[in-house]
């Protein structure tokens, strides 16, 4: 084609585009007015449904306008002239649906899992999920979400499944998206290649609408978190909790979105910059957990050819699976954070191996929880014994303490000093009953984090509990009752009631076997108030957790009975204390310092 022919052809295209634009504008204006008039007339003169259908059809562009539209489209580059269709990329674990308009995944199905309602489980699904870049176009910029891509699906020899999508924008400009899944696993490779489009910046927007997969959408929303791992090695997270907006000031290696049992994370080999995060769980839709938008820039490279490599995780929030990638993705498993972050090491190094071993050996997970409780109780039996022994010593000394209280009267300072002397001569440590319990506290906290995140417990049933990963319910109602519904919920969990009842029984049992301080009545009633106070909180927790605490309470009662019945002889203990009184007391410097302070305080009170 010579120069004159090219100019003539270009003018022809310009005339056609101009005519089409003007004609389309006039047609739309005419039909809009016609439709408005028809609707107004229809309201005044109601007609059968068939007339309304004819009216809507009459408002559509005529065949001549459509023909011009089709003619112009044929002259445009392939990226602007296409039809949206869906391509499915799948392996044994995942099925990813990709829309050729925009070349982004619109659905991610996990094949090995189902929802609480036993439906297919999708992490996300629908056109509102998108991944779009802003690129330099012929006249300004263009979003890849507006381009049509030509797909090419292929399977590699090693079992990898790949789909390559190409958008040819003409003039040497081309966008290529490549998605690849291994034969097994949840990690997808995602590559972007840009040709003929050097840019000063490449902004990218990721829209994600998380779907509910569990029984209680409120609980899932409460556990929805955004994680991010910086390129310098640090990481952080935040719980969405209704609506959150955050801007990160450092380059990020990966961004992760976590729900209760499933998560997705986008990992960039070269990192992201200018990261902005907007997420919201304050929604009215019962099937949607959250809506999130991530914005960031890709690093700009010199030259007309630019390539970017990503990894994209879409799968269960399983610690071992996430740990295997070596990218710190296992941080998305909340084994402990905040002031209790130390318990995550107990979960990773003790409870997880124990739970995995018992699960592989025993099929019933409720039995696994019982065995875990027994093993933990036996492991802590030394501290339990020391605690009960200290309590028994205090009980033996109670008559002598009552005599001291009568002798000292209202002088609490004097009574405290005499009490410490009695403890020293008898060889009794007043903190002996508390310290062993403090050693058990980290285990209780660890289980509080571990059990609600244990994926194998999901959809595992036991007795009346259909799913141990959520609350069990023997009665429920829909009416919102002030205070009760917000604090307790609209259901009754039997395992929570059993846990509370066993806690109260344990409190009564301990009260009858523990000397009470008459000067501190609050401590007398606290063991009874605390379980009732926690009943509303645990009523909404996983049945596996409340079941564990119930079993733990019952074993504690049994263990305490056995120790006191067969291992502690109070008569013999009393004789040993009397012998200790006759022995010289070895006082530590710390004890001497405390005694000196008490003495000085007593002298000040006399003045």
**pLDDT per position as a tens digit, 351-390:** 999 999 999 998 789 999 999 999 988 888 888 888 778 7
- Answer whether residue 418 is part of any domain: yes
Spatial distance between the Cα atoms of 184 and 425, rounded to a whole number of angstroms: 69
- Answer whether residue 591 is part of any domain: no
For residues 529-546, average pLDDT: 88
Grouping H, G, I as helix, E, B as strand and the rest as coil, residue 436 is helix
- 575 in the same domain as 541: yes
What is the per-residue DSSP string for 528-560?
HHHHHHHHHHHTTS-HHHHHHHHHHHHHHHHHH
- Answer whether residue 601 is part of any domain: no
- Answer whether residue 602 is part of any domain: no
Spatial distance between the Cα atoms of 372 and 447, rounded to a whole number of angstroms: 10
Indicate the burial class of 285 (C-beta count within 10 angstroms; 0-12, 13-18, 19 or more). Answer: exposed
Q: What is the distance of C-alpha 559 from the center of its chain? A: 36
CATH assignment at residue 124: 2.70.98.90
Q: Which of 307, 333, 359 is the last residue of a domain?
A: 333
- 370 in the same domain as 286: no
- Answer whether residue 604 is part of any domain: no
Residue the block writes with tokens 């002889």: 569
- 361 in the same domain as 462: yes
For residues 396-414, average pLDDT: 78
How large a percentage of the chain has pLDDT more than 90?
A: 43
At a CB cut-off of 8 Å and minimum separation 6, what does 40 contact?
none
Domains held by the chain: number:
3
Residue 374, CA distances (Å) to 199, 317, 447, 479 in order: 63, 28, 14, 41
For residues 234-262, average pLDDT: 92
pLDDT for residue 128 is more than 80: yes
- 139 in the same domain as 211: yes
196 torsion bin: left (phi>0), alpha (psi -120 to 50), beta (else): left
Spatial distance between the Cα atoms of 425 and 515, rounded to a whole number of angstroms: 19
Question: Token digits for 207?
Answer: 């829209």
Q: Which of 37, 60, 75 is the last residue of a domain?
A: 75
- 371 in the same domain as 476: yes
- Per-residue DSSP letter, 136: E
Angle, CA of 200, 206 and 211, to the nearest 5°: 180
For residues 401-416, average pLDDT: 78
Q: Which of 59-63, 229-233, 507-511 has the highest mean pLDDT?
A: 229-233
| Predicted local distance difference test score (pLDDT) of residue 606 | 60
pLDDT for residue 499 is more than 90: yes
Instruction: Quote the domain boundaries for residue 71.
Output: 3-75
- 89 in the same domain as 61: no
Pick the residue with more confidence: 552 or 43?
552
- Answer whether residue 14 is part of any domain: yes
| Predicted local distance difference test score (pLDDT) of residue 49 | 31
**H or E stretch at 101:** none
- 154 in the same domain as 248: yes
| Predicted local distance difference test score (pLDDT) of residue 394 | 78
- Answer whether residue 382 is part of any domain: yes
- The per-residue pLDDT for range 207-218, each reduced to its tens digit, is 999 999 999 999
- 489 in the same domain as 368: yes
- 276 in the same domain as 131: yes
| Predicted local distance difference test score (pLDDT) of residue 8 | 45
Grouping H, G, I as helix, E, B as strand and the rest as coil, residue 240 is coil
Spatial distance between the Cα atoms of 495 and 469, rounded to a whole number of angstroms: 13
pLDDT for residue 340 is more than 50: yes
- The per-residue pLDDT for range 286-334, each reduced to its tens digit, is 899 999 999 999 988 877 788 999 999 999 999 999 999 999 999 999 9
| Predicted local distance difference test score (pLDDT) of residue 590 | 55
| Predicted local distance difference test score (pLDDT) of residue 400 | 80
For residues 538-553, average pLDDT: 92
251 torsion bin: left (phi>0), alpha (psi -120 to 50), beta (else): beta
Confidence of residue 461 (pLDDT cuts 50, 70, 90): very high
Grouping H, G, I as helix, E, B as strand and the rest as coil, residue 244 is strand
- 84 in the same domain as 56: no
- 237 in the same domain as 181: yes
Q: Which of 50, 75, 100 is the last residue of a domain?
A: 75
pLDDT for residue 7 is more than 60: no
- 175 in the same domain as 152: yes
- Answer whether residue 129 is part of any domain: yes
Spatial distance between the Cα atoms of 459 and 114, rounded to a whole number of angstroms: 9
Confidence of residue 515 (pLDDT cuts 50, 70, 90): low
pLDDT for residue 100 is more than 80: yes
Question: Token digits for 179?
Answer: 């998605």
| Predicted local distance difference test score (pLDDT) of residue 111 | 96
């Amino acid at each position: 084609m010579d120069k004159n022919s090219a100019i003539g052809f270009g003018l022809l295209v310009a005339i056609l585009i101009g005519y089409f634009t003007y004609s389309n504008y006039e047609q739309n204006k005419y039909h809009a007015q016609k439709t408005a008039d028809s609707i107004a007339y229809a309201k005044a003169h109601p007609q059968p449904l068939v007339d309304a259908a004819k009216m809507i059809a009459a408002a559509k562009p005529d065949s001549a306008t459509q023909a011009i539209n089709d003619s112009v489209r044929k002259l445009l580059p392939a990226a602007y002239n296409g039809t949206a269709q869906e391509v499915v990329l799948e392996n044994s674990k995942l099925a990813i649906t990709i829309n050729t308009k925009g070349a982004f995944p619109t659905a991610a199905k996990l094949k090995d899992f189902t929802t609480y309602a036993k439906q297919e489980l999708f992490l996300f699904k629908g056109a509102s999920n998108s991944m779009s870049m802003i690129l330099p176009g012929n006249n300004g910029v263009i979003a890849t979400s507006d381009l049509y891509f030509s797909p090419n699906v292929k399977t590699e020899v090693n079992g990898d499944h790949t789909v390559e999508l190409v958008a040819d924008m003409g003039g040497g400009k081309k966008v290529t998206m490549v998605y690849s899944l291994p034969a097994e696993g949840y990690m997808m490779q995602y590559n972007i290649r840009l040709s003929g489009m050097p840019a000063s910046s490449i902004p990218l927007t990721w829209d994600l609408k998380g779907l509910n997969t569990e029984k209680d959408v409120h609980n899932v929303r409460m556990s929805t978190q955004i994680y991010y791992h910086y390129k310098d090695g640090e990481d952080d997270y935040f719980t969405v909790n209704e609506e959150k907006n955050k801007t990160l000031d450092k380059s990020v290696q990966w961004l992760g979105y976590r729900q209760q049992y499933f998560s997705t994370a986008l990992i960039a080999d070269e990192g992201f910059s200018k990261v902005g995060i907007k997420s919201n769980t304050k929604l009215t839709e019962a099937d949607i957990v959250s809506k999130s938008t991530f914005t960031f820039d890709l690093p700009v490279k010199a030259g007309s050819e630019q390539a970017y490599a990503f990894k994209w995780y879409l799968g269960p929030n399983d610690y071992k699976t996430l740990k295997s990638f070596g990218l710190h993705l296992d941080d998305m498993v909340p084994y402990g954070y905040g002031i209790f972050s130390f318990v995550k090491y107990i979960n990773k190094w003790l409870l997880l191996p124990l739970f995995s071993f018992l699960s592989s050996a025993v099929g019933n997970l409720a039995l696994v929880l019982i065995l875990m409780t027994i093993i933990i109780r036996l492991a802590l039996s030394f501290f339990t014994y020391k605690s009960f022994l200290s309590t028994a010593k205090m009980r033996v000394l109670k008559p002598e303490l009552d005599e001291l209280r009568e002798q000292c009267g209202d002088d609490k300072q004097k009574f405290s000093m005499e009490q410490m002397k009695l403890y020293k001569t008898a060889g009794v440590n007043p903190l002996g009953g508390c310290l062993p319990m403090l050693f058990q506290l980290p285990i209780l906290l660890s289980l509080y984090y571990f059990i609600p995140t244990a994926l194998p417990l999901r959809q595992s049933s036991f007795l009346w509990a259909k799913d141990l990963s959520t609350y069990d319910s023997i009665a429920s109602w829909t009416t919102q009752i002030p205070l009760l519904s917000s604090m307790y919920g609209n259901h009754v969990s039997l395992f929570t009631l059993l846990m509370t009842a066993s806690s109260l029984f344990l409190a009564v049992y301990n009260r009858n076997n523990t000397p009470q301080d008459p000067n501190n009545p609050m401590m007398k009633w606290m063991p009874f108030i605390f379980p009732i106070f926690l009943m509303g909180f645990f009523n909404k927790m996983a049945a596996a957790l409340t079941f564990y605490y119930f079993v733990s309470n019952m074993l504690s009662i049994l263990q305490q009975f056995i120790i006191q019945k067969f291992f502690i002889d109070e008569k013999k203990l009393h004789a040993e204390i009397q012998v200790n009184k006759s022995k010289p007391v070895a006082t530590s410097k710390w004890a001497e310092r405390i005694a000196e302070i008490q003495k000085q305080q007593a002298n000040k009170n006399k003045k």
